[in-house]
Structures are given as C-alpha cells and as structure tokens.
Amino acid sequence: MGKIWLSAAALALIALAFAAPLLDSMPARAEEAPEVRPDDHVLGKADAPGTIFEYASLTCPHCARFDVEILPQVKSLWIDTGKAKLIFRDFPLDQSALKASVLTQCAPPDRYFAFLDMLFKTQASWATASNVKEALIRVAKFGGLSEDKLNACLGDEALSNKIVQERLDAEQKYGVDSTPTFFVNGKKLVGEQPIEDIAEALGEKAPATTANAPAAPGAASSAAKP
C-alpha cells in the first residue's frame, strides 16, 4: 500500500480550497490589502517604498509568462534600484502546484526566488508529467538539493497545511480568486499586467518602449474555480 502523503487535515483544507463554488456558505468579508509579514519572501530591499504582492500558482501559464517576460523588467527598473520590493505568495490552483510550492520551501532563503524562476521556466516539463512528484524532484536537483531533502519536504504535512490555509486566507481576506493577482501599493490588479499598469500603480513612469508585454491589461488569468 502506498504511503499517504497528506494528512486528513491537509486533505480537508484542499477540499475547501479546490472546491467549486468556494466557501459559499461563509459570510462575505470586505476585501483588504495584504501587509508584509515577518515570514514573507521578499525580492529587493525590505525598506523599499513600493510594494508588489504577487499571488501565483506554479502551474499557472500566465504566472510563468509574467516571471519570464515582465518580472525581469520590473526587477531592472524598480527592484534593483531600491524603489520597490516584490513579495511572492503561493496560491496553488491544484495539487501539482501545491507540491511545487512545498518544494520551494526547501531552497535556502537566498535562493528562493531563483528556485521559483527555475520552476516557472521548466513548468511545461513537470506540470503535465504523469508523475509530477518525480518530475519536480528531477528539476529541483538542478538547484543543488538532495533527493532525501526533497522527499522530506514533500512529506511535511504541516507545511502543506500552511500553504493551503494561506490560499484560503487570500480568498477570504483579499478576494483573490485567480492567478496571477497583484497588489501594487495596495491597488489590486488581476491577470497578466503590462509594465505600464505596474508603473502607474507604483507612481512611476513606464519605459518608452517595452518588449514582450501582454497585449492588453488584465489578460486572461487562471481561475481558482473551474
């Protein structure tokens, strides 16, 4: 008999998170804007005046495209210059994304964003694999992590529960229901965003010419509900 990977508590949380419709029986709550937490992964200077929150799923192709095409511009223009910081928060849309999110927590803190970037860039090779766990482990080994450590991470029920609970919190508190969703200086932006819209929310000017930007603001995103 195969080993049961997730605890009953994790399965219950996943059932809530991935069900449709989500949380219909719960009273509606006013949307808030997220705030920086001590355990957040921060790209850039912690005291940078601008703040970009990104809620994304590692199996979301729109999120991968943002990582490959738009984030390098954001990083060059505002993160590397100390004008803004980016905070990534997991919003797994399926159990494959949840496994990948768990694995990112295995990476050393100073390599977390490089690990995310690697998973987004190789998304096509692992997200549709017949055995996602094995495919993820193969990719993660290129990041210098041992198979023993990766298996231990995937077996961490408390971490899986925490990630799923954070997704539920994002839905209830901030109205996140698709990926990617951004909060830029408190302004909510849903879907793929052209560099111009991110610049506007930051109170900055976009570069005169931009390459690889999405064709239209708020391009199609991956929905949390089927």
Q: Does the model's pTM come out above 0.85? A: no
CATH code at position 69: 3.40.30.10
Residue 101 corresponds to which tokens in the numbers above?
A: 């999110």
Measured between alpha carbons, how far is 61 from 59 in angstroms, rounded to an integer?
6
Inside any domain, residue 58: yes
183 sits in which H/E element? strand 181-184
Inside any domain, residue 179: yes
pLDDT at 59 over 90: yes
Label the pairing between strands 50-56 and 84-90.
Answer: parallel
Inside any domain, residue 2: no
pLDDT digits (tens, 9 = 90+) for 125-166: 999 999 999 999 999 888 788 888 888 989 999 999 999 999
pLDDT digits (tens, 9 = 90+) for 68-95: 999 999 999 999 999 999 999 999 999 9
Inside any domain, residue 61: yes
Inside any domain, residue 56: yes
pLDDT at 209 over 90: no
Number of domains in the chain: 1
Domain extent, residue 104, equals 41-205+219-223
Please state, as a whole number, how many other Cβ atoms lie within 10 Å of the Cβ of residue 120: 21
CA distances from 8 to 30, 154, 158, 161 (A): 30, 15, 11, 10
